[in-house]
Structure 1
Amino acid sequence: MNSGQPLGSVIQGSLTEGLEVRLHPDISVEDMRVGKFLVVQGMRSRFFCMLTDVALGAANARIIANPPSWEDTFLRDVLAGSGTYGTINLAPMLMFTPESEESFSPTNGKSANPFIPSVTGLASFVPQTSTTMELLPVKTIPSHFSQVYEASVDDFRRVFGWEDDPQRRNFSIGKPLDMDVPVCIDLNRFVERSNGVFGKSGTGKSFLTRLLLAGVIRKSAAVNLIFDMHSEYGWEAVAEGKNVNTVKGLKQLFPSKVEVYTLDPESTKRRGVRDAQELYLSYEQIEVEDIKLCSRDLGLSDAALDNANILYSEFGKSWIVQLLNMTNEEIEMFCDEKRGHKGSIMALQRKLLRMDSLKYMRAVCPQNYI
Structure 2
Amino acid sequence: MNMKERIGYVVGGTLRSNLRVRLTCKPDTVQEGSFVVIDGTPYLFYSLVTDLQLGSTDPRFADEQFEQRIDPRLAQMLLGQTLYTNIEIMPVLMQETAPDDQLSTGDEISHPIPVKTIPEHHSIVRMAHQGDIEAIFGSVEKKGNFVVGTTREQDLPVCIDLEKFVKRSSGIFGATGTGKSFLTRMILAGLIHENQASVFIFDMHNEYAFDRNDPDTGGRITGLTSKFKGKLQAFGLGASPMVSGNALSSLMIAESDIEPEDILLLSKELNLRETTDATLNALFSSKGTQWFTFFEGLEPGKRITIDEEGEKTEFAPDSVEGWARDAGIHPEAAKALHTRLRKIFNKDYIIADRQKAQDSLKTIIDYLQNGRHVVLSFGNYESDLDYLLVANILTRRIREAWVKQTNDYNSHHDKPKPRSLVITVEEAHKLMTREMASQTIFSTIAREMRKYFVTLLVVDQRPSQIYDEVMSQLGTRISGWLGDDADISAVLSGLSNKDNLRGMLAHLQEKEEVLLLGWGVPMPLPVRSRRYDDEFWRTLLKNKGKASAADDANEADLKAVLGF
TM-score range, shorter chain: 0.7 to 0.9
Alpha-carbon distance between aligned partners in 2 of 1:266 and 1:15, rounded to the nearest angstrom = 63
- Counterpart check, 1:183 vs 2:182: no
Find the counterpart in structure 2 of residue 151 from structure 1. 128
The Cα of 1:15 is off from its aligned counterpart by 4.1
Alpha-carbon distance between aligned partners in 2 of 1:65 and 1:85, rounded to the nearest angstrom = 13
Q: Larger relative CO (CA 8 A, sep 6+): 1 or 2?
A: 2
Find the counterpart in structure 2 of residue 259 from structure 1. 233
1:236 alignment partner, one of 211, 223, 226: 211
- Counterpart check, 1:219 vs 2:191: no
Write the mapping of 1:1-370 to structure 2, written as runs, cut at 5 A. 5-24=5-24, 27-68=25-66, 73-74=72-73, 76-98=75-97, 132-165=109-142, 169-179=144-154, 181-236=156-211, 239=214, 245-263=219-237, 268-269=242-243, 271-272=244-245, 274-326=246-298, 327-328=300-301, 329=315, 330-356=319-345, 358=347, 360-362=349-351, 364=353, 366-368=356-358, 369-370=360-361
Task: Give the AA of the match of 2:331.
Answer: K
Give a deviation string over 1:96-121, Cα, whole Å, max 9, x none. 1258xx8xxxxxxxxx79xxxxxxxx
The Cα of 1:363 is off from its aligned counterpart by 5.2
- Is the 1:38–1:49 Cα contact (8 Å) retained in structure 2? yes
How many residue pairs end up in the alignment?
336
**RMSD in angstroms over aligned alpha carbons?**
3.1
Structure 2 vs 1, CA of residues 85 and 98 (structure 1 numbering), >3 Å: closer, same or farther? closer
Q: How much identity, in percent, do the aligned residues show?
A: 32
The Cα of 1:297 is off from its aligned counterpart by 3.5
Task: Give the AA of the match of 1:9.
Answer: Y
Alpha-carbon distance between aligned partners in 2 of 1:185 and 1:227, rounded to the nearest angstrom = 23
Alpha-carbon distance between aligned partners in 1 of 2:175 and 2:56, rounded to the nearest angstrom = 34
- Which structure shows the bigger proportion of residues in helix conformation? 2
Alpha-carbon distance between aligned partners in 2 of 1:78 and 1:320, rounded to the nearest angstrom = 84
- Is the 2:172–2:184 Cα contact (8 Å) retained in structure 1? yes
After TM superposition, the structure 1 stretch with the greater mean CA deviation from structure 2, 88-97 or 39-48, is 88-97
Scaled by the length of structure 2, the TM-score of the pair is: 0.53
- Is the 2:241–2:247 Cα contact (8 Å) retained in structure 1? no
Question: Which SS does the other structure have where 1:196 is aligned?
Answer: strand
Give a deviation string over 1:51-74, Cα, whole Å, max 9, x none. 333332222211232223569744
The Cα of 1:278 is off from its aligned counterpart by 3.2
The Cα of 1:2 is off from its aligned counterpart by 5.0
- Is the 2:146–2:159 Cα contact (8 Å) retained in structure 1? yes
Alpha-carbon distance between aligned partners in 2 of 1:76 and 1:358, rounded to the nearest angstrom = 78
Structure 2 vs 1, CA of residues 199 and 90 (structure 1 numbering), >3 Å: closer, same or farther? farther
Alpha-carbon distance between aligned partners in 2 of 1:174 and 1:257, rounded to the nearest angstrom = 25
Give a deviation string over 1:138-197, Cα, whole Å, max 9, x none. 2333233221012122212211221333xx522222222233543222111111122222
The Cα of 1:357 is off from its aligned counterpart by 5.2
- Is the 1:171–1:184 Cα contact (8 Å) retained in structure 2? yes
Alpha-carbon distance between aligned partners in 1 of 2:216 and 2:74, rounded to the nearest angstrom = 45
Alpha-carbon distance between aligned partners in 1 of 2:221 and 2:239, rounded to the nearest angstrom = 22
Alpha-carbon distance between aligned partners in 1 of 2:69 and 2:227, rounded to the nearest angstrom = 58
Question: Which SS does the other structure have where 2:85 is aligned?
Answer: strand
- Is the 1:20–1:89 Cα contact (8 Å) retained in structure 2? yes
Question: Which SS does the other structure have where 1:183 is aligned?
Answer: strand
Structure 2 vs 1, CA of residues 196 and 75 (structure 1 numbering), >3 Å: closer, same or farther? farther
Alpha-carbon distance between aligned partners in 1 of 2:116 and 2:343, rounded to the nearest angstrom = 56
Alpha-carbon distance between aligned partners in 2 of 1:231 and 1:195, rounded to the nearest angstrom = 22
Alpha-carbon distance between aligned partners in 2 of 1:58 and 1:195, rounded to the nearest angstrom = 45
Structure 2 vs 1, CA of residues 239 and 44 (structure 1 numbering), >3 Å: closer, same or farther? farther
Scaled by the length of structure 1, the TM-score of the pair is: 0.79
Could you list the runs of 5+ residues in structure 1 that have no partner in the other structure?
A: 103-111, 114-129
Question: Which SS does the other structure have where 1:80 is aligned?
Answer: helix
